[in-house]
Chain A
């Protein structure tokens, strides 16, 4: 069965620190990849997505992610986090229109 692993459950950073959140998946076929963010008390919002082409994708709010096919990974990065980035981040892998699998999420706390 397909699975999505987010190894970091809770990450605590100071403002201006660099961020990298890991995401690995297990599926051998073609995938679409997503990162969603959920701010406290809010619904999920799309940060960025990868369907094909350049494996380095840029999203909103300065986030980017790199798809490494050989490693089945899609790690999220941001060079300098802000307090307002405090949220929960979900990686998701889509193997079909109705087959979207979410990771368990990584809670990011940014300390001012």
Chain B
């Protein structure tokens, strides 16, 4: 079954404690993206990747890092999380016809 998986699904952490949200897809897609969803703001792109070792900033990259060491995985890294990064995060894998397959989401709370 074609899918995008994210872990963890829920995370509560404290300011400054580094964390990583993993994302994996089994569709052999080259393009992957990370979004955050906030009430009244819709989804905003954080980072995207066009292929292994090729990443670029989206609309709201501050405070985030990504890596793409292999095609299937695209982890999102928060080196020093802050409360304004409390949000719902979605990873997406982009298919042949540019449609986005979304993961189940990760709800992050930073205290």
Chain A interfacial positions (CB closer than 8 Å to B): 4, 9, 32, 34, 36, 42-46, 49, 51, 90, 92, 94, 97-98, 100, 102-105
The answer on a CB contact under 8 Å between A43 and B90 is yes
Interface of B is mostly: strand
Complex Cα gap A32–B42 (Å): 18
Chain B interfacial positions (CB closer than 8 Å to A): 31, 33, 35, 40-45, 48, 50, 56, 58, 90, 94, 97-100, 102-105
Query: Given the complex, which residues of B lie within 8 Å of A34, measured CB to CB?
Result: 99-100
Given contacts A44-B90, A104-B41, contact A94 B103 (CB under 8 A): no
The answer on a CB contact under 8 Å between A90 and B104 is no
Complex Cα gap A65–B100 (Å): 18
Smallest beta-carbon distance B62→chain A, Å: 17
Query: Given the complex, which residues of A lie within 8 Å of B103, measured CB to CB?
Result: 43
Query: Given the complex, which residues of B lie within 8 Å of A102, measured CB to CB?
Result: 35, 42-44
Query: Given the complex, which residues of B lie within 8 Å of A32, measured CB to CB?
Result: 98
The answer on a CB contact under 8 Å between B33 and A90 is no
The answer on a CB contact under 8 Å between B45 and A100 is yes
Give 10 closest A-B pairs by Cβ, nearest first: A104-B42, A102-B43, A102-B42, A44-B102, A43-B102, A98-B48, A43-B104, A43-B105, A105-B42, A103-B42
